[in-house]
């Protein structure tokens, strides 16, 4: 007997790269929904790797929307089910960070605002990986991508990662949570909760990408864990507006440990002035630690 639910609703044979954090995230998230669920999926890596026509990796009804309207389609599905009196069916909307924090932000905002009973899951691999690693609003500062390349004049992405969790929370929805593929129990519990709560909910899962971040596939989970242990990705829940259940960190690690194995941050360790940029990233982790009282005494 496996400790986590044995049943796979996102099954093998999908075309995601070896060591894909997103595929792992989707597989775990699907352990948190029951068979009586309908999922939508924005365009992106998750969609192309799981639905190479005429095959599908999904074992629940699944709809590919457009890039920008996963939340709107899910809202429509939920409204139709409600009109038909079938409120026992869960509706889950899914999208990558590009399809959520940039292109799908308008439809996500509308869905949250209208109060649909939909759990939205954002798989955050911090750039447009499916189309060739272009920068998204969720790309962290100083990361090199194909549209924010590090070079003589640049240290990569100039902007701070967009805080989509806070944007979702600003809609006064009942539940917002961050999760990570390195903590499966926590991830499953949060997606379950998001499904059970009546009304719109939002969960953002941090999913390392070997291809886009430039690391070996075997350290996907290790990197996801380091993001949490350095304070760069904070695991918390926000229920009815109140921050709850922050995962405390014992002996917070320096951000270098997280940055160094990734090619997208390689320039920070080679280029003159890189040290200051690493310091900038350390300050983000420190300010997270202060805001969320991360450090365990």
Partner 1 sequence: MPNFASIAKPGTTENYKTGSWRVYVPVLDKDKCIGCERCWEFCPDSSKIEEEYEGDTIFRTDLDYCKGCGICAEECPVDALEMELEEK
CA distance 185 to 191: 10
What b/e string do you get for 16-27 counting C-beta neighbours within 10 Å, with b at 16 or more?
bbebbbbbbbbb
CB of 20 to partner 1, least distance (A): 5
Binding mask 201-240 for partner 1 (x = CB under 8 A): ---------x-----xxxxxxx------------------
Closest CA to 37 of 7, 13, 67, 66: 7
132 interacts with partner 1 by CB under 8 A: no
Question: Do residues 149 and 136 touch, judged by C-beta distance below 8 A?
Answer: no
Closest CA to 122 of 191, 185, 172, 72: 191
- The one segment of 24-32, 78-86, 128-136, 193-201 that binds partner 1 by CB under 8 A: 24-32
CA distance 141 to 281: 7
Question: Do residues 57 and 51 touch, judged by C-beta distance below 8 A?
Answer: yes
12 interacts with partner 1 by CB under 8 A: yes
Q: How, if at all, do strands 175-180 and 237-239 pair? A: antiparallel
Q: Which region holds residue 115: left if phi is over 0, alpha if psi is between -120 and 50, else beta?
A: left
48 interacts with partner 1 by CB under 8 A: no
> Scanning residues 142 to 181, which ones bind partner 1 (CB under 8 A)?
181
184 interacts with partner 1 by CB under 8 A: yes
Which residue in 53, 84, 88, 250 binds partner 1 (CB under 8 A)?
A: 53
> Of 27 and 277, which has the nearer Cβ to partner 1?
27
92 interacts with partner 1 by CB under 8 A: no
CB of 165 to partner 1, least distance (A): 24
- Contact residues: partner 1, CB under 8 A: 2-4, 6, 8, 10-21, 23-24, 27-28, 50-60, 181, 184, 210, 216-222
């Amino acid at each position: 007997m496996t400790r986590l639910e044995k049943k796979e609703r996102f099954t093998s044979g999908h075309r995601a790269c070896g060591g894909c954090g997103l595929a792992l995230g989707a597989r775990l998230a699907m352990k948190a929904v029951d068979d009586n669920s309908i999922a939508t999926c924005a365009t992106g890596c998750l969609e192309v790797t799981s639905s190479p026509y005429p095959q599908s990796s999904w074992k629940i009804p699944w709809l590919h929307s457009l890039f920008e309207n996963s939340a709107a389609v899910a809202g429509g599905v939920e409204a139709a089910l409600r009109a038909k009196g079938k409120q026992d069916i869960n509706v889950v909307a899914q999208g990558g960070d590009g399809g959520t924090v940039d292109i799908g932000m308008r439809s996500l905002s509308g869905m949250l605002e209208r109060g649909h009973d939909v759990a939205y899951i954002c798989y955050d691999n911090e750039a447009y990986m499916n189309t060739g690693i272009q920068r998204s609003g969720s790309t962290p500062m100083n990361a090199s991508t194909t549209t924010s390349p590090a070079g003589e004049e640049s240290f990569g992405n100039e902007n701070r990662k967009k805080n989509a969790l806070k944007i979702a929370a600003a809609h006064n929805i009942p539940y917002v949570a961050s999760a990570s593929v390195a903590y499966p129990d926590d991830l499953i519990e949060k997606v379950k909760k998001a499904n059970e709560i009546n009304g719109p909910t939002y969960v953002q899962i941090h999913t390392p990408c070997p291809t886009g971040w430039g690391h070996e596939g075997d350290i996907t989970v290790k990197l996801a864990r380091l993001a949490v242990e350095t304070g760069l990705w904070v695991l918390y829940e926000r229920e009815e507006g109140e921050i709850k259940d922050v995962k405390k960190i014992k002996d917070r690690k320096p951000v270098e440990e997280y940055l160094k194995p990734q090619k997208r941050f390689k320039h920070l360790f080679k280029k003159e002035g890189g040290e200051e940029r690493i310091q900038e990233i350390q300050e983000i982790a420190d300010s997270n630690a202060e805001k969320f009282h991360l450090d365990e005494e």
